[in-house]
Structure 1
Amino acid sequence: MQTRAYRIETAGGTPRLATIDLPDPGRGQVRMTIHASGLNFADLLTIQGRYQDIPEAPFTLGMEAAGEIEAVGDDVTELAPGDRVAVFGGCGGLAGAGLFDAARVVKLPDAMSYEHAAAFLVAYGTGHLALARRARLQPGETLLVTGAAGGVGLTAVEIGKLMGATVIAHARGADKLAIAREAGADHLIDDGDDLRARLLELGGVDVVYDAVGGDAFRAAFRACRPEARLLAIGFASGEVPQIPANHLMVKNLDVIGVYIGNYLKFRPEAFRDSVATLFGWYAEGRLKPHVSHVLPLDRVEDGLDLLRSRRSTGKVIITPCPLTRCRHAP
């Protein structure tokens, strides 16, 4: 079959929409119609050649997607044509259809739309693994989330609140802070304020969930309580902070790296356990993915520009459609 796809054809090349041939699934693979694909800041880094895990060209962009199984490889037994699924494939999501490793595919709760599913695995999976497994966040602790209105930040606000933390949201502008409040934030700090001073006024923090880096990380670092944990999620500011090890000693601090992509390689059961917990919370109505924009595949560059210019909140979703047919999400 043929499908449209947003592709990088050569290393360092500019991505473009193209029509590609998609073969039948091989061993351990599934082919799925893609109804929705979630954009991530990592897509921008991949295009720039700066991401830590870039496939060999040519490849189709798009880390996560949701849709319907069309066909399965001979040895795939837990998935079948017609199943509603999501995939954290790492690439391949910005297309009308794609081939993915079956081990990366999860079945969706009946009540979950494709748009919500495409907004779920990377952001919520990162938040839950980071806070529950890596930081061991406890009820009553104070959690700071930087970039709190973005894709991964907003989900961390939700998850932290569900886990019983007092949540401080740090974001740029009243509109973004209002969205963080709706997600459960107890305290709001504007990006233009003195972050360290405001955090100290609130008594300091036990866990920092930082996807920004740069000045935000440094200010949060200086406002940590003893035995605090700082989660390095990403560096949207463009600056990777340098950490003074002597300060770690004085306050007995932990700095913890979180990269969800590697969990599917060295501990996939941890990722699947997190997703099962999160899907349960979603089915109970305790999680509400925030999607600020839904755009068709031929406007994917507009979607990426929304991320680049920080004009989106939560997730930007792309809705591809295969050349062969177009079946819409329920």
Structure 2
Amino acid sequence: MRAIIVRDQLRNVTLADAPEPQPGPGEIQMRIAACGLNFADLLMIKGTYQDTPDLPFILGMEVAGEVTALGEGVTSPAVGTRVAVFGGQGGLAEIGCFPADRAVVLPDGMSMTDAAAFQIAYGTSHVALDHRARLQPGETLCVLGAAGGVGLTAVELGKLMGARVIAVARGADKLRAAEEAGADHLIDATEGDLRGALKALGGLDVLYDPVGGEQWKAAFRAARPEARLLPIGFASGEVPQIPANHLLVKNLSVLGMYWGGYMAFRPEVITDSLKVLLGWYRAGKLRPHVSHILPLDRTEEGLELLRSRASTGKVVIEIG
């Protein structure tokens, strides 16, 4: 089978032939139709992601496809079932084996592209806003990187949960995508004083930040008393340092949020969240935004779209 492999300490990424994997105990084998790309894939290539596998490994964290075989002890999902899986690795390949208990049966009518773009982006935002920040109707949510893979879902979910949503993104095209997702107010991150713009809108109750760096610092200073601040990632390359004295004076809370980490110690947080999200999808309340769909042999082009922040929403690789 063909696969995208990270091979060596130089972090070389190649499209190459690989042995077809067979399912072990507790696993399913699936023919992969689509794989969603994530910023974490770029970190894995560099070897800086917290869950980077040992070399060599097949890149690709989340997939959608059809079950083709069951490992020992597995009775469901049945062969032929359409599923999505967050596997953490192994997704950019024609065939993959993943834990059966991570397989999510797809709703009728959900495309493989939507399914491959769904779990990490919507799951991260929903667990962050609902489980961690306890976002309430009428509160003000500020989303940084609001046109990115997770940022756009945070705008959409924040609006669906009844919040007033301020979207911060770079340039008119990205702000337009955030507006279409439901943002009430738009701020161009390339123009002027972000702190001042947020303060002029009354400040924020919840900050959703996949960017870090200077944008975090500006939004942090625009937080209202008792605001909840969610560091989701650091696409800027700068991990901000948080002044504890400011937390004290304004009674602020900083809430760490690593979606994949719940798999290890509270998997029900993820499964319960996905039930809600898929219910909203079936009801037509969620519309996954995929800006680019590319074949497997153009994966590097897709990764560069993430690296250069040229995409909006998700980039999906179609495999079969």
Tell me the TM-score normalized by structure 1: 0.95
Superposed CA RMSD = 0.8
1:170 counterpart (168, 171, 194)? 168
Contact 1:12 1:49 in 2 (8 A): no
CA-CA distance at 1:123 after TM superposition:
0.4
SS at match of 1:31: strand
For structure 1, which runs of at least 5 residues remain unmatched after alignment?
322-330
Equivalent residue for 2:184, pick from 186, 201, 204: 186
2:197 maps to what in 1? 198
> What's the counterpart of residue 235 of structure 2?
236
Rounded to whole Å, the distance in 2 between the matches of 1:142 and 1:22 is 49
Aligned amino acid, residue 313 of structure 1: T
Matched residue SS, 2:150: helix
Match of 1:130 in 2: 128
Determine the structure 1 residue equivalent to 2:51: 53
State TM-score, norm by structure 2: 0.98
1:121 equivalent to 2:103? Answer no
- Is the Cα–Cα contact under 8 Å of residues 86 and 118 in structure 1 kept in the other structure? yes
Q: Which residue of 2 aligns with 1:326?
A: none
The SS at the match of 1:151 is coil
Q: CA deviation at 1:252?
A: 0.4
Report the equivalent of 1:70.
68
Aligned twin of 2:147? 149
Shift of 1:297: 0.2
Shift of 1:78: 2.5
Whole-angstrom CA distance in 1 between matches of 2:218 and 2:65:
41
Paired position in structure 2 for 1:90: 88
Deviation at 1:12, TM superposition (A): 4.2
1:39-69 Cα offsets, whole Å, 9 max, x none, are: 0011111111111110111210001010000
Q: Which residue of 2 aligns with 1:294?
A: 293
Corresponding residue for 1:39? 37
Specify the SS of the correspondent of 1:257. coil
What SS does the corresponding residue of 2:18 show, helix, strand or coil?
A: strand
> C-alpha displacement at 1:13, in angstroms?
2.8
Change beyond 3 A, Cα 1:23–1:178 = closer
CA deviation after TM superposition for structure 1 residue 296, in Å: 0.2
Structure 1 runs (4+) greater than 2 angstroms displaced: 9-13
Does 1:217 pair with 2:207?
A: no
Give the deviation of 1:74 after TM superposition.
2.4
Q: Does the 8 A contact of 1:66 with 1:86 survive in 2?
A: yes
CA distance in 2, matches of 1:124, 1:53: 20
In 1, are the aligned partners of 2:170 and 2:190 still within 8 Å (CA)?
yes
Taking the aligned partners of 1:166 and 1:77, their CA distance within structure 2 comes to 45
Q: Is the 8 A contact 1:30 1:71 kept in 2?
A: yes
